[in-house]
Structure 1
Amino acid sequence: MTESVPALVTYAALGWVALNVIFYISERWMVFSDIIWILLAGLLYGWVASSSNAGLPELVLNPEIVLFVFVPLLIFASTKKMCLFHFRPILLPAMLAGTLGIIISMLVIGGALYLLLGVEWLPALLFGVIISATDPLAVSALFKGNEAVTENQKLLIEGESILNDGFVVTVAGILALLIFSDESFDALQTGFSFVTHIFGALISGAVLGRVARWVLKLMHTSHYILTTNITLALAYGSFALAEFLHFSGILAVFAAALAYGYKPDHDSKNRESEEKVWEYLDYAANALLFFLLGTSYFTLTSDSTLPVLYTVLALALLFAARFIALGALKPVMRVEREPLTMNEFWLLNFSGARGAVSVALILLLPSTFEYQSLFLGMAFLMILVSLIVYPLITVKIIKRMTE
């Protein structure tokens, strides 16, 4: 154990140096954001570690660490940037895309797996909902300082992703319960559980968010060290409490962050310092998560080589499911009472890259689950293609918006 500590410190130091190199490359060669370069570096590391005698340790995603360590931090960091007052104009379209859009996408993907691959109906729906969770980080870096993308458009993309993550985890949990438990299906009980899972999370998170704000008021100080400690406790505390009460931890963190920042303080040095701390935490967590996603690819998919038909189907569903879902909802989606433009529609489509949450949810399924290997292979393919290809398409959409 003592020998592993110096090695861990060495790897950490090399990792920080590598981050600086990657950041420099991404700034000089703006083909991808630095996060995507980190993903590619992880893929290279995973390939070398699994196919050579270099002696590199295999680094594999732990699903519980993803959901209980990374997710609360990343959800809170993303939501913390939003003020509820500014979020209200896009709340309805974000909710539509993050709920009904997910259901439509789930049905498209699940139906295809059921009809074309012979996967049983409930497992097919389970994969459909799991792979519908999105991660906008791959493209959101392209929005920074770009006046072609408005604040409402950025909020719509980020807000929809956070809401659909919570919705996906909730629906996936219910489907997993139906698949792996011996209990018979009860529509009334399932519907009640679904509603309480969501509203319980929102209420518990909002209460904790306001309590955190009240505690700060009692202390009569807003020093950034104090506020950073409280917000970190709020992020993980709201997630842990919600999961303990069998609510959605992701939605609880979302509600806690919005409630905490509903009436943000006036700009001050302490507030700016706190924002810088959270910005770095967000960056560091995402960098590590994307690197681990890359390093895990060769290890987790070694037993799940996809036939050509499955590969073509996975890529077709990656593009088609979200396109169909958003296409069906486009007539009723409004931002400040204005319908979505075609540019906004395509931007929302290709901001929906998949992320590590989907892999974590599949890994949490029982190891005896007959479709786990298939689901992992298809999920990794869809995730990696979306993370690499979608930013390239998004750049073209943004350029078209400026013309």
Structure 2
Amino acid sequence: MTGYESIPSLVIFAVLGWVALNTIFFFSHRWRLFSDITWILLLGLTYGAVSAMPDSNLPDLVLEPHVVLYLFVPLLVFSSTQCICLFHFRHVLLPASLAGSLGILISMLVIATAIHWLLEVPLMPALLFGVIISATDPLAISALFKDNQSVTENQKLLIEGESILNDGFVVTVASILSLVIFSGVEFDLASSSLSLVSHVVGALVVGVVLGRGARWLLTLLHERHYTLTTNITLALAYGSFVLAEELHFSGILAVFAAALAYGYKPYQDDANHLAHQEIWEYLDYVANALLFFLLGSSVFTLLSLEMLSAVNILLSILLLFSARLISLWLILPALRIESEKLSRLDFWLLNFSGARGAVSIALILMLPADFSYKPLFLTMAISMVLFSLIVYPVITKRILAQTNSTKESAS
């Protein structure tokens, strides 16, 4: 099939996709069992299962890791972060940073220890998998928070901010461990710690400089039309990510810092600012829908049947829950919002907002093809991602419902 002949097929596929999105949106808001994202994931799984059949003429749709990191991640991180007001985010900055760094290290050690002793995976590859699979994606959960009176603004900021920070931290640590494992560089705690700090600080500096530069440019032009602000913020999101990555810093943290620096003081004009927000909300929705559909459609292609055993699946689910639970429990005394300890609701919401997502899958796919533990890591990661994206929203919904009923009884 030539390129010209494939264009009508792509158009038809896009039209069917938009129709499916509208259908999913309607029924998900009517049934309220899962979020839109979870239904889209299930649709992707269905497509992947059908396309894997021998007589199917459907094309295989598989996640390409660089597309995930360079196309989807900057857009999604910037979209989530620009909604965060820096004035309010400072209240949860410390607990979000602790959970997104120290919490990730504890989770990494728990997972690495388990697969090192139980599955006899060497320590360094075990640590690599431990940190990669600790990256969280709150999208399937955060949709349940909208218009929910039992979830405070600080709770939402903590969950979203911690997820973005831990993604940046995970990518940085995974890069250092990959360098040690696959390049033969001798591990040195002092140099690795210095490299980690430089990755983080460098990313934050790049983001802040570009974010303030974009804001200054708009002021210089004396124009804030939504078309102009959308173009500049898109350039800012992708530009900060690429520049940071080229300088060997964390692209995710650079985008996070750029979005905060750009939007630390939101414009007060109504029409243009509202239009700008609505455009970004639509971009965020479409990007999430496409990403989770691709994630679901890739499952049957990426799974290794040799590694798909009941023991590996059960171990994956146990580690998914226990690693984050243990890490948050250990740092709980230090997690405070405005000098107050996290409530029981805060703790469980933070725990079950830790669904795994496409970033972990993409990082594993980027490992060398001849890496002997790659099939095992992919199979365990896919088990964790699917379980957390399907089951965690249901648990979170029950927690929120119970909290609402408790408040109503008290009143």
* Structure-2-length-normalised TM-score: 0.97
**TM superposition outliers: structure 1 runs of 4+ over 3 Å:** 302-305
- Secondary structure in structure 2 of the residue aligned to 1:2: helix
Offset from partner CA, 1:91-140 (integer Å, 9 cap, x none): 00000100000000000000001011100000000000000000000010
Matches within 5 A, 1:200-279: 200-279=202-281
Q: Does 1:150 align with 2:152?
A: yes
Gaps spanning 5+ residues in structure 2: where? 407-411
From 166, 169, 178, give the equivalent of 1:167: 169
How many Å apart are 1:186 and its aligned residue? 2.9
From 109, 125, 130, give the equivalent of 1:107: 109
d(CA) in 2 for partners of 1:317 and 1:185? 26
How many Å apart are 1:184 and its aligned residue? 2.0
Q: Which residue of 1 is the match for residue 322 of structure 2?
A: 320
Q: Which residue of 1 is the match for residue 381 of structure 2?
A: 379
Q: Which residue of 2 is the match for residue 345 of structure 1?
A: 347
| Structure 2 residue identity aligned to 1:172 | A
Q: Which residue of 1 is the match for residue 309 of structure 2?
A: 307
| Structure 1 residue identity aligned to 2:279 | V
| Structure 1 residue identity aligned to 2:188 | D
- Secondary structure in structure 2 of the residue aligned to 1:51: coil
Instruction: Say whether the 8 Å CA contact 1:209–1:260 is kept in structure 2.
Output: yes
How many Å apart are 1:52 and its aligned residue? 4.2
d(CA) in 1 for partners of 2:304 and 2:103? 32
Offset from partner CA, 1:18-59 (integer Å, 9 cap, x none): 100111110111000111100000000000000242311010
| Structure 1 residue identity aligned to 2:66 | E
From 129, 134, 137, give the equivalent of 1:135: 137
Q: Which residue of 2 is the match for residue 183 of structure 1?
A: 185
Q: Which residue of 2 is the match for residue 4 of structure 1?
A: 6
Offset from partner CA, 1:373-400 (integer Å, 9 cap, x none): 0000000000000000000000111112
How many Å apart are 1:3 and its aligned residue? 1.1
Gaps spanning 5+ residues in structure 1: where? none
Instruction: Say whether the 8 Å CA contact 1:304–1:376 is kept in structure 2.
Output: no
- Secondary structure in structure 2 of the residue aligned to 1:92: helix
How many Å apart are 1:188 and its aligned residue? 2.7
Matches within 5 A, 1:13-52: 13-52=15-54
d(CA) in 2 for partners of 1:304 and 1:255? 42
d(CA) in 2 for partners of 1:59 and 1:173? 27
Instruction: Say whether the 8 Å CA contact 1:143–1:149 is kept in structure 2.
Output: yes
d(CA) in 2 for partners of 1:393 and 1:178? 39
How many Å apart are 1:304 and its aligned residue? 4.5
Offset from partner CA, 1:141-185 (integer Å, 9 cap, x none): 101001100000000000000000000000000000000012222
d(CA) in 2 for partners of 1:33 and 1:53? 32
d(CA) in 2 for partners of 1:292 and 1:340? 36
d(CA) in 1 for partners of 2:306 and 2:140? 26
CA RMSD of aligned residues (A): 0.9
* Structure-1-length-normalised TM-score: 0.99
- Secondary structure in structure 1 of the residue aligned to 2:92: helix
How many Å apart are 1:194 and its aligned residue? 1.1
**How many residue pairs were aligned?**
403
Identity level (%)? 64
Offset from partner CA, 1:212-246 (integer Å, 9 cap, x none): 00000000010000000000000000001000100
| Structure 2 residue identity aligned to 1:85 | F
How many Å apart are 1:308 and its aligned residue? 1.9
Instruction: Say whether the 8 Å CA contact 1:303–1:373 is kept in structure 2.
Output: no
d(CA) in 2 for partners of 1:315 and 1:7? 39
